[in-house]
Chains A and B, each alone.
Chain A
Amino acid sequence: MEVFAYQGLIGLSSAMYLWLISAGLTIIFGVLGVLNFAHGSLFMLGAYLGYTLYGLVGVPFGLAVLGSMATVAVVGAGVERGLLRPLYGLDPSYQLLLTFGLVLFVDDLAKLIWGGVFRIPPIPEWLQGSVTLFSRPYPIYNLFLIAVGLSVGVGLWWLFDRTWWGRAVRATASDREMAAALGIRTPTVFSSVFMLGSALAALGGALSTPVRPVAPGIGAAMIVQAFIITVIGGLGNLRGAFAGSLLVGVLSSYGTLWFPEFELFFIFAIMAAVLLVRPQGLFAR
């Protein structure tokens, strides 16, 4: 029983990384209708900026994470206004091509700036160590991740359900023309949503730096999982992304324990099982 509980708790912390990256992806798709291939690149950029501020410049870890989020949010605004906006009226394949091109561009840019060598700065002192849970040491860093992930979940719920901005976003997502007719500045809503999604990707990236390698290409590995999660949860559905992250994170963890031979196949099996039962995703309306 203790083994089961511990493995589940480990899976929960993995799920929180997935949640942070898939939340941004699904928000952007839900409102803008853009399937952003470059979302993983924003995750990578967040990781590199977090590493630079915290690992190289020596900024305290918390501030480095916030700095990384703010910078990537600005980059996101630039991408949305400068590159995506001219494509909104065109066939969606143009958006896919553009965002895929961005993946290649940002990867090479990262290599040019930070080199090809992977980077892992030390874990902040206040997040080192472990606590005993289910008779085994459980990393404080993982508990911190769970706390951040859950806080982001609550924060997003509050933002979308309890603020004027959230109502404007939901109205825009529901019917752009009607929202514009009611006086909502939809271009501004689009930009702010893209900034929020980018900042969430950067949050995941920056939080990963002390325990995961920062290197060109890490975004590509993350984006595949994020896409799977958004498909499982229902494209554009935030609750679905949260549930999908938990499902994939925790079940994958149990898969590693019980079916190590099928590790690679497990996440796709979950997706296939969900799609067979609910092709539109778990939470799609």
Chain B
Amino acid sequence: MRTVWLVAVVIGPLFGASWSAAGPATCPLGVAAIKLGVQGVASGPHADYGRQIEMGAQLAVEEINAAGGVLGCRLEMRFMDDENRPAVGVRNARFLVTEWGAHFLYGTDSSGVAMALGPVLRELDRIQFFTHAATHRLTEELVAQQKIKQIVRVSAPVYQDAVAAWLFRDRRDVRRWATIGADYEYGYATWAIFREQMRRLRPDVEFVGAAWAPFLTTDFSPHIAAVMATNPDGILATPWAGEAVTLLRQALLQGVFDRIKVWFQAMGGSVDVLEGISQEVREGRFQGKLYATSRYVHNWPNTETNRSFVSRFAKRWNRMPNYSAETTYSAVYITKAAVERARSLQTDRVIAALQGMRIETPAGLRVFRSEDHQFVYAVPAGKVVWDPRYPIPVLGELKVFDPKDYWRWPPFRPLELTK
């Protein structure tokens, strides 16, 4: 028996070494593994978003490796915390590419981090698939204008929030709109594109009030009180993650839902927000007046691809997938498709392979827009409801609109951002 153990101890590492040495031999791309550098915020109040990015990427990597890799090449990933800080995001990207040897980059939640990364990606000549940062400037300015070809965005940008105008265009009883906005570019952009669409669809609508809450606000009471002083019929709110939950809880305390007709929480379809307001939704405290969208909702589309993804994700991580998990998961599969088409890891060839790409993903059909490297896909909006088939609230009474109706399209004219 001792001899058997001895043989195992001596032979084992040799066998392992020969397996890993065999890796490059079977990979036609000439690398031991295709390296994916992933980053997102993994500390502070928004840490769950980075975690979801990591979970989405890891699930895709595990699945692809189990199915034989990309052209026979194994995928290897490394996740880093960008702390929602541009300087850290840039440092991470440089490390991942120059020290660790990443072939592709993914993720990042903050628009500020994304904008700082843009020029660095050109310098590093690595493609980053952006899977959360929503600023329109990333693709409109850095890609369409400045031609930084290494930027590709898989997630829906801030345009998605304009779906609210289409959702409520037939609600003639909702005429007076106000916003409780995030006091940074995202909040201004959403309010600007919503008003632009609304003015087009409903010239009778008035925009009566606005209150702006800085990042990491924990007390929204003054903002709610200020906006309610203008007697709005509808409120458009852009604080996200834990801030969205806090805002909604504090709005309930001030009896807001007794006085308004609709509340649109732009990113309220996000899993963490739905988890946070679970009890209130179950008790009907929003009185059927709370609506939301997201960058992906796990109960739509009703396709085998999506159902299967949600089921595998829930089994693997014991959570529902957030949009940043789906977008990163899909980004890894988009990489697989592009590399298989290009049969190369070179940036130019992979970008060429992305041209005209139409790919089925859990969120539905994604189509690559060549002018700004933005993947276009539809995300529904709907009412936040309790559905006993799910452990958390979901978006129900879903309405899907064609992105052609409410997204911005090239040629882009500058978006006027005012509070």
Contacts and interface: CB of A to CB of B under 8 A. Distances in A.
A213 B242 contact: yes
Interface string A127-170: 00010000011110110000000000000000000000000000
Contacts of B222: 7, 10-11, 14, 252-253, 256-257
B226 A256 contact: yes
B1 interface: no
Nearest to A108: B43
B225 A10 contact: yes
Chain B contact residues (Cβ within 8 angstroms of A): what range?
A: 35 or more
Given A211-B246, A261-B419, A263-B214, A217 B43 contact: yes
Interface string A220-263: 01100000000000000000000000000000110011001101
B402 to A, nearest CB: 34
B246 A264 contact: no
A137 B258 contact: yes
B72 interface: no
Contact of A260 (B51, B210, B219, B246): B210
Interface string B219-255: 1011101101100000000000111011001100111
**Chain B binding surface, main DSSP class:** helix
A218 interface: yes
A137 B44 contact: no
B253 A13 contact: no
Nearest to A3: B229
A111 B43 CA distance: 8
Most buried by B among A3, A14, A130, A212: A212
B334 interface: no
Contacts of B255: 130, 136-137
A60 interface: no
A111 B47 contact: yes
B32 interface: no
A118 interface: yes
B116 to A, nearest CB: 21
A139 to B, nearest CB: 4
Interface string A1-18: 001001100110110010
Interface of B: 42-45, 47-48, 50-51, 183, 210-214, 216, 218-219, 221-223, 225-226, 228-229, 241-243, 245-246, 249-250, 253-255, 258, 272, 275-276, 279, 419
Given A116-B48, A116-B51, 10 more contacts: A7-B226, A13-B221, A118-B45, A118-B272, A137-B255, A215-B47, A216-B44, A221-B218, A257-B222, A261-B212
26 contacts: A3-B229, A7-B222, A7-B229, A10-B221, A108-B43, A116-B47, A117-B47, A118-B241, A120-B249, A136-B225, A137-B254, A139-B254, A141-B253, A142-B221, A211-B246, A211-B249, A212-B219, A213-B242, A213-B246, A213-B276, A215-B44, A221-B216, A221-B218, A222-B218, A253-B225, A264-B214
